[in-house]
Structure formats: structure tokens, C-alpha cells
Amino acid sequence: MRVSYVELSGFRGFKNRIKLDFPAGFVVLTGRNGAGKSTVLDAIDFALTGTIDKYVVTTAKKGGLDSHIWWVGDGSPEDHFVRVGFIDENGHEFAITRSRDQGASHSDEEIGRVLIQGPMPVDWPRTLVKTSLIRDETIASLSMDLPGQSRFEAVRAAIGSLTGPDYSTRTGNLVKAAESARVELEEKLEQQQADLGRLLTNLTEARSALDRQADSAQAETIIKRLIPTFILGARDAGENLRRVIAARKQTAQVIEAALNEAEELIGLLQISESPEGRADRQTRQQRVADLAELHAAAKREQESSQALADSERASDEFATHMVMLLEHGQHVGLLDGRCPLCDAARSNEQFAEGIVKARSRLEKRGQAAAQAAALLTAAIQRSDETQNEWLKARAEFETRSLRERSLEQRLSQIAELFERHSFEPGPREPEIARNALFKYQENTADIERALFILEASGAHDRVASLQARIDQTRSMIDAQTVQLTASERALEAARQIDKAAKTVANQILTEQFDTVLPLLKELYKRLRPHANWKEIDADFGGQIRATLNFTVGEGKNPQFLFSSGQRRAAGMAFLLAIHLSRPWSTWKSLLLDDPVQHIDDYRALNLVEVLAAIRRVGRQVVVAVEDSSLADLLGRRLRSAPNELGRRFDLAMGSDGSALIERQLDLLPLPQEVIRLSQAS
């Protein structure tokens, strides 16, 4: 099977619908970064696996891989799908479609029947893609940089069907089942041991009750006398009696707390009702009345001062106007010997003397107004002071009266509490109430002792019953212990079988890897990762968790010896060997995504020659590169055949941001004879 075409729309960087027809020989995809080269190969990965396997992290805060598989640029694509076509040597075609809305057109099992021969490996879609598509991002991480155990598992996945049936999965399940059975038996044993502990505790209590056994008739008499309504013959009489005792103890605690409070309240009320308390109350009450009267007198004085001040203020206003009139007359002076104010005939001396006398009388009026205002201020101050004293005394008197009333109210509440609990006498007789409480508590203790006596009367039967249950539980524990021991032996046997199965499988795989190692060594020599270390070797370690380790020279580890580019070249040899060694896949396409990144031109040329050799054995080679010169070289070296053409796609980004095919070029095979031999001379 080979890839015959890739069609995609609204996928990754391809907004518009586009189809790339792949010939049977080889395909070279070239273009600048972001032109869509890797996306074409991602489409094949997505069609087979439903994801893009090159990402280590697939979730992120602003949207993970699932949010970016389909077109996220401006505008809406016509559709969202990926379709990959396959064709076999007989021309039979098969296509896989995955769309955003409808998912996959075929199940994994249906696809596997086309691309897989023989038993399907575990998680075959991912294994198939990992061994067919070599990406720049994962060349080192999936080869040289892998831990030894992971590298061994990669080889197992690629050539696993050569090793014959792998029973390690079955033996692993057998170990899990044996472990689960042992854990279940351990839990049962722990539960039975816990039950035995509880039974032993109950047996101890029953024997203690037996030691306290007394006359049950006397106990019944005590209960009937103290609790006449209690039914002794009831099935749950013991439990009911315990609840009664608990309720009585709770009632005694409530009554005792309330009685303590009542005694304190009565003490305060007695102080208030004593002769001294009554005299103090009368004194306070009389003081409130006296201050009220004093305030009323001050208020009357204030009102009288206010009236006088108002009168003097009005008179003062008249005097003010007269002063202004005198000033005006003085300024005008006599008019033809007559006063301008009263029109009387006056001499200058008479006029001046009259002005002085009038001014003196008006000044006296102003002094009277000022005195009236001062009297009013003093009266207001006395009124305020007496009011404050009166209000303060009244508030103190009312506060004390309110406290006395609250004491009475709380004492009434305590009396209601006593009534609710049917407790007599009331809280106003604390000494009698205290004696009654002591009696109540004594009766509760008598009831509790009677309960102990009644329980002790059945202690013999309880001890015998508990002893029988203990013997039965111990027998069950012994039997369970035997089963647990057998389970542990079975678990150990299962582990040994599992170990043996894995050891045999690893040994077989180690032997079969000898068929792959020559290919790895040959590819390593051709790619020439290191100038000094021209050969690579491999060895397996571990029996259960096997490892595959590479060495160069005298046991040196290339993983830590080689540079980044050298590790990638050696890793390319390993991945190509894995691809060429898998026997279970009918898919004969090798896909490479920018495989020359981080390696120099010399080793890039070596890789081209290796790919040309792979192409000559009939495999379809699909390569994505950025360098157009390298694309030209690949077009020349990956030889075409008449029925296996080559094709080059130059990809670019359009004005709308979507990737597109800028140029498509068919690479025809070279002619068999350029110059006829007869014409060579």
C-alpha cells in the first residue's frame, strides 16, 4: 500500500480545499516556513490516529491541540476534513476521511485490515505512524535520547511479530488477578480480626456484669417506685431505661444551672427589698421630684427674663432710631433760630444742652437692654443645668427600676423552666429546691444501679453466647489464614511464570534483533554521523525489563558522546532501520518531515543517498524540505521509473493566509539510452 493522494480543507494552515496527488515513486514538498509542508504530513498522521502525535503537550490555558487542529484564521473554510487515499500494487484503492463534524469514516479495525498483515500490534495506529513518519522534532527523542528500556520497547513494537506469541500480557494479567485475590483475602482477614477484637471486648464487659450480679427483684421494685409508667417487660427495656437515665441526668444539669442562677437573682432582689434598699430608692425618687421642681422654677425664671429682654430689645431699637435722629439734627443745626427736630425757638446754647440731655437719656435705655440680656443668659444656663441634673437622676432611677423588674422577669422564666421539667418546689425557695434536686439525683443513681442489676441477671447467657461466637470467629480466621498462605504461594508462582514469559520473549527478541542490526550498521556507515566512530553496535541488557543500548568504539555511549547533529544522524539510522524491519505492515511509504535540520550539508548529502537507495528497493518516499536546492537534489537522486513517477510540490502562503500549491512539477524518469552505442564512436 502507498499513499495515492492527500486532500484537506480547513485543516491547520489550509483554509481552502486542496488535493495533492502522490505518484507511486516519490514526492518532494518544499516551501518556506509556514507554507504547509508539515501540515500535509500531519494530515496523514491525523487521518490514521485522530491526532497529531508530534506534540508533547496537548493541553494549554488558551486552547490545546484540539482547539488548533482546524483552521483558526480569518474567514470560514468551505469544509473541515482530511482525506488520505491509499492504493496497492493491484490498483485497489482505499480512503480514510476524518472530518470535524462526523469524525472518522472507518474504524481502527477496518483500517488495520488494509494496512496490517497478521495479528495487529497493540496501539498499532500510533506505532504505524511513529515507524513511518520521521519528524525533525522527534528524530533524537525517539532514538538516541530514549532510555534503554523505551528504545527496547520501540524495537519490540516494530519487529514484535517476528518474536512469535507474546504471553507476557497474559502472565501480567495472571499476576494482577493473584494480587487482587490476595488483597481481598487480607481485607477479609482484617475484618474478621476486628470482629474478634470487638467480641473479646464485649465478653470482658459481660463477665464484669456477671461479677456485679444482685437481686433483680429489688431492682424492679426501685424502678417501679421511681418510674411508675416504665414497662419492664418490653423487648427494649434496657435500652429504654438507659435513655431515661440519660434524660434525667440532663434534666438535673439544667435544673442545677437554673437553681444557681435563681439563688443569685434572689440575693440581688433581697438587697433591693431590704430597708436600706427601699430607703435608697425613696431618696432617689424624691431627688428626681426635687430636681423636677427646681427645673420648673428655672424654666419660669427663664420665661420672665425672656419677656423682659424682649421688651428692652424693642425699647433699645427705639433708642437707636432716636440717636440717629439726634445725630441728624445736630448735623443740620438751628434753622432760623428754630430746632430742626421740634421746631421750637432755641438759642445755640439751649440747642446743644437739649442734644446732650436727650443723648444721656437714650444711653441709659441701652444699658437697661444689656442688663436684661445678661439676666436672660444666666436664666437659660440655670434652666439647662437643672434640666441635665433632673434627666440624669431620672435615668439612674429608671435604670435601677428596670434592673429590678428584669430580675423578677428572669426569676419567673426559671420558674417556668422548673414547671416544664415537673420540678417542685419553685426557684423562690432555693434551699428547699436544692434539697429536692439532691433527692432527684439520688433517685437517678438508684435507677442506674437497678439497671446494672437487671443487666447482670442475664450475664450468664450473654457470656456463653459471646464465647461461642468467639470460637466460631477464631475458626474462620484460621481457615482464612490458610487460604491467604495459599494465595501468597499462588502469587509467587504467577510472578515466576510472568518473569519466565518476559525473559523468554526478550531472549527471542534479542535473537531476532540480529536480523535488524546489520541493517542498522549499514545505515550508520552510510550516514556517517561521526568522523572517528564509523561503526555502531548494540547490546541488550536485563531479563525482565530489557534495555537496548548503543555503543561506539570501545564501549562508549554515543548518547552522551555525540553532538546534537551527530545524535540526529545516528538516530536517523536507527529510525530508518526500524521502518525497514517491520514485517506486519503492508504500507510501503516512508515519510520524512524536514529531516536535515541541525545537520551539516555533508551528512545531508549522505541522507539523500540513503533515501535514494531506499527508493530503489521500491518504497514510496515522501520528503518535506525547506531548501529549494535540496529539493532539486532530491528530485534528481530519488530516481523515477516509468510506472513510479516522482512529483514536486512547491507550497506557499496565499494573500488570505491559507497555504496553497504554487507549483507542481512531475519528475520523469531518465531515458534508458541517451546515446546509442553505435553512435558513440
Lowest mean pLDDT among 59-68, 121-130, 137-146, 195-204: 137-146
Strand intervals (E) in 44-105: 81-87, 93-99, 103-104
Q: Which amino acid, residue 292?
A: A
Under 8 Å between Cβ of 209 and 455: yes
Per-residue pLDDT at 373: 78
* Within a domain: 558: no
pLDDT digits (tens, 9 = 90+) for 561-584: 888 888 888 888 888 888 888 878
Per-residue pLDDT at 668: 82
Tell whether 134 and 274 lie within a shared domain.
no
Per-residue pLDDT at 295: 85
β-strand partners of 538: 550
Tell whether 267 and 412 lie within a shared domain.
yes
Lowest mean pLDDT among 187-191, 238-242, 300-304, 326-330: 326-330
Helix (H, G, I), strand (E, B) or coil at 359: helix
Which three cell numbers, joined as nine digits, stand for 484? 491467604
Report the CATH number that the domain containing residue 376 is assigned in CATH: 1.10.287
pLDDT digits (tens, 9 = 90+) for 370-408: 777 788 788 888 888 888 988 998 898 888 888 888 888
Closest CA to 199 of 463, 456, 477, 481: 463
Q: Is 193 exposed, middle or buried (0-12, 13-18, 19+ CB in 10 A)?
A: middle
Query: Looking at 371, 406, 432, which one is the last position of a domain?
Result: 432
Range of the domain at 46: 2-144+568-673
pLDDT digits (tens, 9 = 90+) for 135-146: 887 776 666 666
Decide which of 7 and 196 is more confident. 7
User: Mapped to the 3 state alphabet, what secondary structure does 174-214 carry?
Assistant: HHHHHHHHHHHHHHHHHHHHHHHHHHHHHHHHHHHHHHCCC
* Within a domain: 515: no
* Within a domain: 184: no
Per-residue pLDDT at 162: 43
Tell whether 138 and 273 lie within a shared domain.
no
pLDDT digits (tens, 9 = 90+) for 247-298: 989 999 998 998 898 888 888 888 888 888 888 888 888 988 888 888 888 8
Report the CATH number that the domain containing residue 72 is assigned in CATH: 3.40.50.300
* Within a domain: 561: no
* Within a domain: 509: no
> Is pLDDT of 493 > 80?
yes
* Within a domain: 678: no
Per-residue pLDDT at 163: 46
> Is pLDDT of 233 > 50?
yes
* Within a domain: 522: no
Query: Looking at 432, 447, 466, which one is the last position of a domain?
Result: 432
> Is pLDDT of 165 > 60?
no
Under 8 Å between Cβ of 9 and 76: no
Q: Structurally, how many domains does the chain consist of?
A: 2
Helix (H, G, I), strand (E, B) or coil at 101: coil
Per-residue pLDDT at 280: 84
Closest CA to 585 of 155, 165, 118, 156: 118
Helix (H, G, I), strand (E, B) or coil at 333: coil
What is the 8-class DSSP label of residue 128? H
* Within a domain: 239: no
β-strand partners of 99: 81, 103
Query: Looking at 432, 466, 482, which one is the last position of a domain?
Result: 432
Under 8 Å between Cβ of 428 and 266: yes
pLDDT digits (tens, 9 = 90+) for 328-375: 776 777 777 787 777 777 777 877 777 777 777 766 666 667 777 788
